[in-house]
Structure 1
Amino acid sequence: MSSSTVTTWSLEQTSPADLRPAAEPEGDVRIVRAEVPSPEFSRFLYTAVGGDIQWTDRLALTHTQWREAVEQPGTETWVAYEKGTPAGFVELVAQDDGAVEVMYFGLIPAFRGRRIGGHLLSYGAARAWDLADRWPDRPETKRVWLHTCSKDGPHAMDNYLRRGFRLFDTKTADEPDVTAESLWPEARA
């Protein structure tokens, strides 16, 4: 099997004051929390956003494992909709040490390049900072962090930096080349 060298960057904000929100996009764009955990909806979002950029880490999860992941206390999914159609999502996962990880973030390919991503990331980071308000048993957020890699879209890193995230770690590794399963493989870019 062939492999590729992949660089992974870890970024963080250590204060709510670090967040530099993007302007809201024009048009009918709303961001709504998916308050009822649904493994089916989560898997739809995951494959729709990550199918063309080789998101594969969750594809082997069973329905039970996926349900456990989305039902974990302090886990939230926020979905961007344009004119009522899902455009992308951000999944937040609260950790015991007061950190909140932006576990997944991205847009469905048809919605990229429309200024929705900066707004969704801004909104998601703000919700990470106030997550304890919705989950009183979770510690107050002290840090919001995420990782991105060289397989992600060409504007991902710039979006993170513009929102006030700072680089704190870089790793490079060889990873096997895979073709991510998608709802419609022929729709890959």
Structure 2
Amino acid sequence: MTRIVTYVEMTDRSQLVPGAAVPGMALVTADRDLALIAELMARIGAPYQWRSARRSPQEWEEWFAEHPDRTCCLLTVADEPVGVVCYDLRAGGDVEIRTFGLLPEFTGRGLGGHALTLAIRRGWELVPGVRRVWLHTSSADNPNALPNYHRRGFDTFKTEEDDG
């Protein structure tokens, strides 16, 4: 099945349009806790057939090793994990939000706008000199993902077809 992959970017932190605040929601660095991140990403990705839903422990180790500066954070509400954000630092001051997602039992509850706001803010703060925060999504992801990205101020810079 052909998917449409959409790449979005924010080239200035002033483009961020914050989502409605969610009391008790926080973004907490996960200290590369491989087991926890792997479990949460598998649960987040399962409904959308993400590769993370079927990686072996060895593949998880390789995933972390491919970008030694990869940073993962937990989205929490009242200290309960509700989602994950992972970032890759790229050349030229680019920060890619490699993974962003909420656990299935927390989607549709009005958390996504604020969760993405926290993720974007952290992306701009990861290292000095960030020039761009970007990510990609596909038509196979949650149907609310792309509209949320656009509402938060991301602009589409590329689309492509992917046969999965």
TM-score, normalised via structure 1 length: 0.79
Aligned letter for 1:99?
A: D
Following superposition, the deviation at residue 96 of structure 1 comes to 2.1
Letter in 2 for 1:162: R
- How far apart, in 2, do the equivalents of 1:117 and 1:78 lie? 15
In the alignment, is residue 33 of structure 1 matched against residue 29 of structure 2? Answer: yes
Count of paired positions: 162
Among the aligned pairs, what percent are the same residue? 33
Partner of 1:13: 10
**2:140 aligned to 151, 155, 164, which one?**
151
Structure 1 residue 61, shift from structure 2 partner: 6.3
Q: Specify the structure having the higher radius of gyration (Cα).
A: 1
1:37-76 matched pairs, under 5 angstroms: 37-56=32-51, 59-60=55-56, 62=58, 63-69=60-66, 72-73=68-69, 75-76=70-71
Question: Amino acid of the residue matched to residue 166 of structure 1?
Answer: D
C-alpha spacing 1:69/1:48, structure 2 compared with 1 (3 Å): farther
**Shift >6 Å, 4+ stretches:** none
Query: Which residue identity is paired with 1:95?
Result: R
- Gaps (5+ residues) in structure 2? none
> Compared with structure 1, are the counterparts of its residues 145 and 61 closer, same or farther at alpha carbon in structure 2 (3 Å cutoff)?
farther
CA deviation profile, 1:11-64 (whole Å, cap 9, x unmatched):
0000111111111124x3332121x21221221121011111110167256153
More helix by share: 2
- String of CA shifts for 1:113-172, please: whole Å, max 9, x gaps: 112111111111111111115xxxxxx100011000001111101100001000010101
SS of match in other structure, 1:132: coil
Please list every run of 5 or more consecutive structure 1 residues that lacks an aligned counterpart in the other structure: 134-139, 176-189
Retained in 2: the 8 A contact 1:89–1:120? no
